[in-house]
Amino acid sequence: MKLIICGTIIPAEVEMKLSGASPAAGKYLRNLEKALKNNGYVVELKSFLAIPGAKEAFHDAKKSDNDQVYKSKWIIRSVIQYHKSVLESANGGDVVVFYNIDYYSLGLVGKLNKRGVKTLLILADHTGSFKECGNVVRWIISKLVEFDIKRFAAGIALSEKSMKYFSDNSKVIVLEGGIDLNCFSNINPPKEGQIARFMYAGTLSKVAGVDVLLKAIDFIKDLQAEFYISGKGELEKEVYDAAKNDSRIKYLGFIPDDEYYKLLNEIDFFINPRNMQFEQNKNNFPSKVLEYLATGRGVISTRFPGFERFVDYFDFYDDDYRALADKICNVLTDGRNVLNVYEKNRNAAMKYDWDIQAQKIVKLVSY
């Protein structure tokens, strides 16, 4: 069986050069490709790149872009080119896997269905809110996306609330994401006696709640702790300025995976401050928390979709910077046994191993 993965698929070294790239989506797709290959399947990538500077970044990194279609000023022409590329590769026994639906993939599932090609949608996030779409054109596209979602015979929802978008006749399972456990094999228990170190890693945006995190840190000015923030996004300047004015904040920028995994041994707690006031966050799952779980550290988080499965492992708080500040202070004074947390969380992470998740995906499309 050959699986063709469609989406914005970028090698890590190219992603580093692109401010508009989504690190979460990139890591998910790279891990999915690796896990499928580990399970013995042939995998082909079909990527549509609308990120400014993508072509130049591929060239600078000396990476092949044979499987990429770049958005041009003639948008319709580049979309047609992308559809043609996928259709030419897909045969009757293949499975085409979509990571979300965007304007460039609209209508493609219908064409594949007519040819008898199996299709599967991984729905990571979607919002139909006019307010969050921002304008009429994006809102219309979101409605067309919802129509296309119902045309998939099989799907993966990253949260239970996303299942509502699929057809009642679709085979759909909830699969929050996965972890490459090999990357966490050298993670040791937290060090005792050092100043407490907290970390947020991900997109620097209001949707991710980074502004709330900065407010919370400022609210507890007298707390002796360090706060490490890594990533890129619209709030980079705010984070940079906060780090300049508060020596407890350490802004790391967007760091490569090897540096990130080394740093995990130095951290005591992770924070997922995702702002649940945004509608899009009510339908998606913050896959980064699975990595936090795999470190065996304490995790502080808002109540994301599916949080109920993590109540034994994470410390949840109400969606407010003062509540986050209180939770940060509380985890330092509650006398928890860090070794117990380490062993419990590490064991819980094992069921999210990517090789196991890949087998579930393939089983879903073996119809």
Task: Give residue-wise pLDDT tens across range 4-20.
Answer: 999 998 888 888 888 88
Residue 228, helix vs strand vs coil: strand
92 band by pLDDT with thresholds 50, 70 and 90: confident
Separation between Cα atoms, residue 172 and residue 260, nearest integer Å:
33
pLDDT higher than threshold 90 for residue 125: no
Distances (CA, A) of 307 to 161, 271, 297, 356, 360: 12, 14, 17, 21, 21
**What are phi and psi for residue 120, nearest 5 degrees?**
-140, 135
Residue 17, helix vs strand vs coil: coil
Share above pLDDT 90 across residues of the chain, in percent, rounded to a whole number: 69
Residue 110: per-residue pLDDT? 96
pLDDT higher than threshold 70 for residue 205: yes
Same topology, domains 2-174 and 181-351? Answer is yes
Mean pLDDT of the chain: 91
Residue 321: per-residue pLDDT? 96
Note the pLDDT tens digit of each residue in 46-75.
999 999 888 888 888 777 766 889 998 899
- The CATH number of the domain covering residues in 181-351: 3.40.50.2000
Separation between Cα atoms, residue 145 and residue 50, nearest integer Å:
18
Candidates 271, 359, 365, 254; CA nearest to 314 is 271
Residues 6+ apart with CB under 8 A from 192: 338
Separation between Cα atoms, residue 24 and residue 201, nearest integer Å:
10
Residues 6+ apart with CB under 8 A from 301: 271, 272, 273, 274, 286, 289, 307, 310, 314, 315, 316, 317
pLDDT higher than threshold 70 for residue 155: yes
Which of 44-58, 214-228, 235-249 shows the lowest per-residue confidence on average (mean pLDDT)? 44-58
pLDDT higher than threshold 70 for residue 140: yes
Domain residue extents for the chain: 2-174, 181-351
Distance of CA 313 to the CA centre of its chain: 20
pLDDT higher than threshold 90 for residue 45: yes
Residues 6+ apart with CB under 8 A from 239: 204, 210, 214, 229, 249, 251
367 band by pLDDT with thresholds 50, 70 and 90: low
pLDDT higher than threshold 70 for residue 348: yes
Class for domain 2-174, per CATH? alpha beta
User: If you average pLDDT over each of 11-20, 253-262, 265-274, which comes out highest?
Assistant: 265-274
Residue 133: per-residue pLDDT? 77
Residue 101: per-residue pLDDT? 94
Report the DSSP beta bridge partners of residue 298: 269
Residue 28: per-residue pLDDT? 92
- The conformational region for residue 62 under phi > 0 = left, psi -120 to 50 = alpha, else beta, is left
Predicted TM-score (pTM) of this structure: 0.89
